[in-house]
Copies of this chain bind each other. A is one copy, B any other.
C-alpha cells in the first residue's frame, strides 16, 4: 500500500496553521498508526520569518516564498490557512495544477469562489476538503457527505459565529447593551478590532452558504443570501424575549421551501426549550433535520487555533488515506442541483415587534388594524406604560409573509401616534 510519508505544505502559520501543526505534532504516533503512513510537515510559507512562533513550529521549515510550497513536487497536500480571497485563490489553483490536494479553512474563499475551485479539483481527481471552514472543530461537512448522506436534509439552523454568540450571551446574562459588551469582547480578543465581519453577519453568511451547498447538493450564489447582524439587538429586546420564553441568537437558517431554498442569517427568537437556546458563549451548534434521521444536533467550539486545527488535521488524514489507497476524489462535492433561493420578501416566519406609541386611546387598535390589513395575524401583544406619556407595545405575530410585514411596518411608522418602531426580530419555533 502506497507511500509511507505524506508531505504537507502550509500556506500561512497564524492561529489555524500553527494549531494544525501542533495537533499533527502532538499526536504524530497515533496518527501514523491510524493512517499507516507518517504525515510530515515539509514547508510552511509565512509573511514574516522573524515573527515569534510557538515552539512546535520548526523554524527551519519556514519560507517567505509561497512558491516553495506550491511548486514543491514532493508536497502532496497543501493546507491553506492564510484566509481572504486573494492571493489564496490563485495559489490554490496553481497548486491543483501541480497535482496537490487541498485543505482549506477559508470560509470566504469557499463561499465566494467554491464554484470555481471545486470543479478544478474534481477534474483532476484531487481532494479539496474544508471541514474547518464551518463551525471550527465541530464535525459537520463530512457527516453531511457521509453518515447523513442518505437523508434528504430539510433544514439546518445553526449558531455558527462565536463572537456574536459570546456578545449575545453576555448581554442576556448581564443585562448590558451591545456597544459595551462588544468593547469588552474586543479587549478579550473574542472580537476583532474591526468587528464588521462577525457583527454584521458576513461570517455567518459565508458558513451558511457552504452548509446549504453541502446539505442540499446545490450551488449557492452568495450574493443572494440574506444576512443581518446583531447591532440592532438591544438589552430591551433580550429582556422582552426572556419574558416571552425565548432567547435571542444569531441564527444561520437553511430550509427547503418547495423546490427552492430559504437562506438567511439574522437575530432570531429561539424558544427556551429548544436545544440551541442553551448554546452559550463562544460555542457553536448546528441543529438539522433529515427525513430519516430526524433531529440531530452537533455542538462544540466553532473557532480557535486547536479546534479548527483538529478539523484541518482530520481533513489531512482523510486525504492521506485516499493517497495511500489511490482513491482521491472518492467523495466529490456533488452540486448536482441548482435550487433557486427564495427572495427574502417571500419568506414566511413569525415576528416580534417592539414599538413606542403615544399613550392614548385607540393607538393599539390602529396598529392592529394595519397589521390585519397586511394579512399579519397577532399571536400575542403586551402594552406597558412608560410613565412619560408613552407606552411600549410588544407584538408576537403568527407566521406572515416578509413582504407584508415590511409593508405593514412602513405604514405603522407613519401613524401619527407611533413614535418609533424600535425593532423587528424574526421568531423561529
Q: Please measure, in the bound complex, the distance between the C-alpha atom of A295 and the C-alpha atom of B284, giving whole angstroms.
A: 11
The residues in A between 310 and 335 inclusive whose CB is less than 8 angstroms from any CB of B are 310-311, 313-314, 316-318, 321-322, 324-327, 329-331, 334
Q: Count this chain's copies in the assembly.
A: 2
Does A86 sit at the interface, judged by CB under 8 A? no
Indicate if the CB atoms of A149 and B300 lie closer than 8 Å.
no
Q: Which of A74-82, A139-147, A185-193, A239-247 contacts B (4 or more CB under 8 A)?
A: A139-147
A-B contact pairs, 28 of them (CB 8 A): A19-B292, A27-B150, A27-B152, A31-B150, A33-B334, A137-B290, A138-B293, A139-B139, A139-B143, A142-B146, A143-B147, A146-B317, A147-B311, A148-B310, A149-B314, A150-B309, A150-B310, A278-B278, A290-B310, A292-B313, A293-B307, A294-B301, A295-B301, A297-B297, A298-B299, A322-B330, A325-B330, A327-B327
| A317: B residues at CB distance < 8 A | 146, 149-150
Q: Please measure, in the bound complex, the distance between the C-alpha atom of A334 and the C-alpha atom of B318, giving whole angstroms.
A: 15
Does A291 sit at the interface, judged by CB under 8 A? yes
Q: Residues of A within 8 Å of B, CB-based: how many?
A: 61
Indicate if the CB atoms of B278 and A294 lie closer than 8 Å.
no
Does A151 sit at the interface, judged by CB under 8 A? yes
Contact with B along A139-173 (1 / 0, CB 8 A): 10011011111111000000000000000000000
Does A296 sit at the interface, judged by CB under 8 A? yes
Does A34 sit at the interface, judged by CB under 8 A? yes
Indicate if the CB atoms of B294 and A306 lie closer than 8 Å.
yes
Indicate if the CB atoms of A217 and B34 lie closer than 8 Å.
yes
Known A-B contacts A23-B292, A293-B310, A322-B327; A131 and B147 likewise in contact (beta carbons under 8 Å)? yes
The residues in A between 252 and 290 inclusive whose CB is less than 8 angstroms from any CB of B are 275, 278, 290
Known A-B contacts A33-B217, A142-B147; A292 and B310 likewise in contact (beta carbons under 8 Å)? yes
Q: Which residue of B lies closest to A137 (CB)?
A: B293
Q: Which residue of B lies closest to A145 (CB)?
A: B34
Indicate if the CB atoms of B152 and A148 lie closer than 8 Å.
no
Q: Please measure, in the bound complex, the distance between the C-alpha atom of A138 and the C-alpha atom of B30, giving whole angstroms.
A: 25
Q: Specify which of A291, A324, A330 lies most central, judged by the most chain B CB atoms within 10 Å of its CB.
A: A330
